[in-house]
Amino acid sequence: MKGRDFIITGLQAWDIPIGSNAIDIAKELSVHNRVLYVNSPLDQMTILRKQNAPELKQRFAVYRKQLKPIRQISESLWVLDFPFSIWSVNQLPDGWLFDLFNRKNNKKIFGFITKVVKELQFKEVIHFNDNDIYRSFYAKEYLKPALSVYYRRDNLQPFAFWKKHVARLEPLLIQKCDLVVCNSPQLANFARPYNNKSYDIGQGVDLSAYDPEQEYETPEAFATIPVPRIGYIGDIKQPTAGSRFAF
């Protein structure tokens, strides 16, 4: 796909210090397309609790009007931060009250994105939603993209933060998107009953990071650990009773 305009919203901010699927996808898409990568706006709880978080430094500066909302990363890639905050809604009871305030958040978010899109002169945008079930739930209604894509890269339902609303909202979000892409057969199998245009696209990897011909300096923190060393980065869930594997 070449010469298209993409808007990416999601859970992973551009400024996180670790690797990110969404950031890698944005960079890859920007080789032949224009891409606006959207950092989620600060909510009230984040403003109260995480003012010193390094990964939020840029967003706080924009929120305080110290920096402009848009920064250009490359010739065809921009990152957007918001000069306002949104409601903290996750602790609201599931149902109409949550939906009311979540819709207000979505309207505010995508109203601002629409203005930026016009400034950048994006046309017939493709919206790529990186697993953002709450803040992008009404994106199709407010953004009116030419194509709406939901990227289901994680099963969020087992996590405490998401349990209250995700079981109800994610199937509804999957139903109204034009395309659902997933990075495992299990995630795609969940989505397919709600949207038959749900596909497992696999998980990309940068093979150069595993080139056996390259030599890397051992980090000081690992120097005292005897070889062979085996590392893991990610989440480990306890399997449920009667199951053989945890996903």
What secondary structure letter does DSSP report for 105?
Answer: H
- How many domains is the chain partitioned into structurally? 1
182: in domain: yes
> First vs last Cα of the chain: how many Å apart?
32
Give me the CATH number covering residue 116.
3.40.50.11010
User: CB of 12 within 8 A of CB of 39?
Assistant: no
Within a domain: 167: yes
Residue/partner pairs of 189-197 with CB below 8 Å, 24 or more apart: 190/152, 190/155, 191/150, 191/152
Q: Write out the residue range of the structural domain in which residue 185 sits.
A: 5-207
d(CA 215, CA 242): 44
- Is residue 185 situated within a structural domain? yes
What's the length of the chain? 247
pLDDT tens digits for 190-247?
999 999 999 999 887 778 778 888 888 888 888 889 988 888 777 666 555 544 444 4
Helix (H, G, I), strand (E, B) or coil at 223: coil
The verdict on residue 20 lying in a domain is yes
- Which residue did the predictor score with more confidence, 164 or 52? 164
Is 175 part of any domain?
Answer: yes
pLDDT tens per residue, range 7-49? 999 999 999 888 788 999 999 999 999 999 999 999 999 999 8
